[in-house]
Amino acid sequence: MIELRDFSQDDIESLVKNANSASISRYMLDTFPYPYTCEDAEWWISTGSKIGIHKAIIHDNQFAGTVGLKSKTAEKRFEAEIGYWLGELHWGKGIAAQAVKLLTEYAFDNTHIQRISAGVFSPNTASMRVLEKAGFHKEAILKQSIYKNNEFYDEHLFVKFRE
């Protein structure tokens, strides 16, 4: 149903088209820009996507979004954090859950990672369902740990361990 692949310069237009959405950025970390410009896409493809493991999600031969892992360091060096987003036209089709599952399996098969975690803003129940469908479970709720857009949110922490 989907393919995960490395980013290419050909993805710039599709990346901007899909990422430039207030509905997507509202539950993303502040490092995810909005509005999302061609310069942002160029930086992501040349630099940002090379930090950790980041893949373009392709659905029906179209760019749909991204999924990525960033390893932690020092005493948390066996943990990575997973993140993902999809363009709005691709929501509700099971694409994100499949992408998270594929990248999680890849990480456990090809790296030293023992634990993969994901933090989700409390109102983002769709993202929580994505993680549950991909085999993650809720480990904790960190009360009022996120401040974005002049509002405090609880962070729901999901994890999956190497089996």
How many structural domains compose the chain? 1
pTM given for the model: 0.96
pLDDT tens column, 64-94 = 999 999 999 999 999 999 999 999 999 999 9
118: domain CATH number is: 3.40.630.30
Tokens at 143, concatenated = 């009360």
Question: Tens of pLDDT along 131-158?
Answer: 999 999 999 999 999 999 999 999 999 9
Beta strands of the chain (E only): which ranges?
A: 2-5, 53-59, 62-71, 79-86, 115-121, 137-148, 151-161
Range of the domain at 85: 2-161
pLDDT surpasses 90 at 1: no
Q: How far apart are CA 52 and CA 44, in angstroms?
A: 12
Mean of pLDDT over the chain: 97
For 3-32, what is the mean pLDDT? 96
User: pLDDT tens across 102-132, in order?
Assistant: 999 999 999 999 999 999 999 999 999 999 9
Quote the CA–CA distance of 43 and 17 in Å, as a whole number.
15
